Amino acid sequence: MKKYQNIANKYAGLIFGLTLILLWEFSGYMGWLPRFIIPTPSQIITALVNDRANLWDNSRVTLLQAFIGLGIGIVLAFILAIVMDLIEWLNRALYPMLIVTQTIPTVAIAPILVLLLGYDMTPKIVLVVLTTLFPIIISILNGFANSDQDAVRLLQLMGANLWQVLLHVKLPNSLSYFFSGLRVSVSYAFVSSVVAEWLGGFEGLGVYMIQTKKAFAYDKMFAVIVLISLISLFFMWVVSLLERVFIPWMYRERKIRF
Cα dist from 70 to 14, 63, 194, 237, 244, whole Å: 29, 10, 14, 16, 20
Instruction: Clarify whether residues 27 and 81 are in a common domain.
Output: no
Please say whether the beta carbons of 207 and 201 come within 8 A. yes
pLDDT value for 253 = 56
Instruction: Clarify whether residues 216 and 155 are in a common domain.
Output: yes
Instruction: Clarify whether residues 152 and 26 are in a common domain.
Output: no
How many structural domains is the chain composed of?
A: 2
Instruction: Clarify whether residues 52 and 25 are in a common domain.
Output: no
Predicted TM-score (pTM) of this structure: 0.83
HEC string for 27-86: HHHHCCCCCCCCCCHHHHHHHHHHCHHHHHHHHHHHHHHHHHHHHHHHHHHHHHHHHHHH
- pLDDT tens, per residue, the chain with 258 residues: 555 566 556 667 777 778 888 888 888 777 777 777 788 888 888 888 888 888 888 888 889 999 999 999 999 999 998 898 888 888 888 888 888 877 877 777 877 887 888 778 888 888 899 888 888 998 998 888 888 787 878 877 787 777 888 888 888 888 888 998 899 899 888 888 888 888 777 788 888 888 888 888 888 888 998 998 898 889 999 998 988 888 776 655 555 444
Cα dist from 5 to 9, 12, 20, whole Å: 6, 10, 20
Instruction: Clarify whether residues 158 and 199 are in a common domain.
Output: yes
Instruction: Clarify whether residues 121 and 12 are in a common domain.
Output: no
pLDDT value for 255 = 54
pLDDT value for 251 = 59
pLDDT value for 75 = 93
Q: Which residues of 61-77 are buried (b: 16+ CB within 10 A; e: fewer)?
A: bbbebbbbbbebbbeeb
Instruction: Clarify whether residues 163 and 210 are in a common domain.
Output: yes
Instruction: Clarify whether residues 165 and 196 are in a common domain.
Output: yes
CA angle 50, 55, 58 (to 5 degrees): 155
The amino acid at residue 36 is F
Instruction: Clarify whether residues 28 and 131 are in a common domain.
Output: no
Q: What is the CATH number of the domain that holds 246?
A: 1.10.3720.10
What is the DSSP code (8-state) at residue 105?
-
Domain that holds residue 7: 1-33
Instruction: Clarify whether residues 171 and 120 are in a common domain.
Output: yes
Which DSSP string corresponds to 156-171? HHTT--HHHHIIIIIH
Instruction: Clarify whether residues 135 and 74 are in a common domain.
Output: yes
Instruction: Clarify whether residues 44 and 27 are in a common domain.
Output: no
